């Protein structure tokens, strides 16, 4: 797509949690660098947090991103339990649930953009799928769920939640239950039925690392053969910072994210797909 051709616009809907905010902000910058307009949605507090705490972005990378400050929903603030086995911050799930109340302002914004653009592409953190469930009714909108976890992790969550619809071979069959590691609250969001209408999945990984599980994610039993994209906005070529035991892998990762590498080709393929 040529610079300045704004027939397609991308709307980002992140989860209000720093590590999630940053991943979609970096993906926003990558997409914007290809000449597509990007709109980043969140409360004023979380948008400011994302910009101030951004990691790995070049100066002025967010200049081409349009931030929209949505109304801040009331969020419960339960007292933390220091003795709890679950160490996930207790405010995260109330915040996620509160963001479900932003369905209407998100829909209104996308609806307005849809009247001005040929296609609207919504990329949302799969944990906030409830917030974007109405936009699938807009004729020229298509949505993609962004996976901040590894493809390995997400595949096993879905495979187990679906009753293990096919047999795994080798070492994979001995993986312990995901319920031993992930609380019930986040599991409900990860496997939400609201995800059925998406056009595909985007994983924050590379095929070099997660190829087996990206391929498994594309199976009919798991996603209905929806498109799977490995686009990692947070794996930058800094091999000298990786521990010595991972030098060989870091070299391969560096090659994949540099110009002409596998990551660049996948990113270019995704941009061409949504700009079609």
The catalytic residue positions are 20, 125
Left if phi > 0, otherwise alpha if psi is -120 to 50, otherwise beta: which for 163? left
Contact yes or no for 123/142 (Cβ under 8 A): no
Which residues touch 178 (CB under 8 Å, ≥6 apart)? 153, 156, 157, 160, 187
> Cβ distance 274 to 37 under 8 Å?
no
CB 242 within 8 A of CB 209: no
Burial of 173 (0-12, 13-18, 19+ CB in 10 A): exposed
Token pair in block for residue 42 = 């969140």
Q: How many angstroms separate the CA atoms of 105 and 108, rounded?
A: 5
Sequence-distant (6+) residues with CB within 8 A of 47 are 40, 67, 68, 69
CB atoms within 10 A of CB 182: 16
Nearest Cα residue to 39 out of 96, 124, 97, 100: 124
DSSP secondary structure letters along 17-55: SHHHHHHHHHHHHHHHTTT--EEEEEEHHHHHHHHHT--
């Amino acid at each position: 797509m040529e610079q300045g051709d704004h027939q397609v616009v991308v709307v980002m809907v992140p989860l209000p949690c720093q590590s999630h905010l940053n991943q979609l902000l970096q993906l926003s910058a990558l997409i914007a660098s290809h000449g597509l307009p990007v709109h980043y949605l969140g409360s004023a507090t979380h948008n400011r947090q994302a910009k101030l705490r951004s990691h790995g972005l070049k100066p002025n990378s967010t200049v081409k991103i349009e931030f929209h400050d949505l109304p801040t929903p009331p969020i419960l603030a339960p007292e933390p339990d220091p003795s709890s086995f679950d160490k996930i911050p207790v405010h995260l799930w109330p915040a996620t649930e509160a963001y479900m109340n932003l369905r209407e302002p998100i829909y209104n914004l996308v609806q307005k953009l849809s009247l001005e653009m040929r296609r609207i592409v919504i990329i949302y953190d799969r944990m906030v799928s409830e917030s974007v469930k109405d936009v699938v009714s807009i004729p020229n909108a298509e949505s993609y769920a962004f996976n901040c976890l590894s493809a390995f992790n997400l595949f096993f969550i879905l495979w187990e939640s679906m009753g293990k619809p096919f047999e795994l071979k080798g070492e994979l069959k001995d993986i312990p239950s995901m319920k031993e590691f992930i609380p019930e609250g986040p599991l409900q969001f990860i496997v939400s039925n609201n995800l059925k209408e998406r056009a595909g999945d985007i994983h924050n990984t590379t095929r070099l690392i997660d190829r087996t599980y990206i391929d498994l994610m594309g199976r009919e039993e798991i996603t209905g053969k929806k498109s799977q994209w490995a686009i990692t906005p947070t794996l930058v070529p800094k091999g000298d910072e990786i521990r010595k035991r991972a030098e060989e892998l870091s070299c391969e990762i560096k090659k994949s994210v540099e110009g002409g590498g596998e990551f660049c080709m996948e990113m270019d393929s995704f941009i061409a797909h949504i700009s079609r």
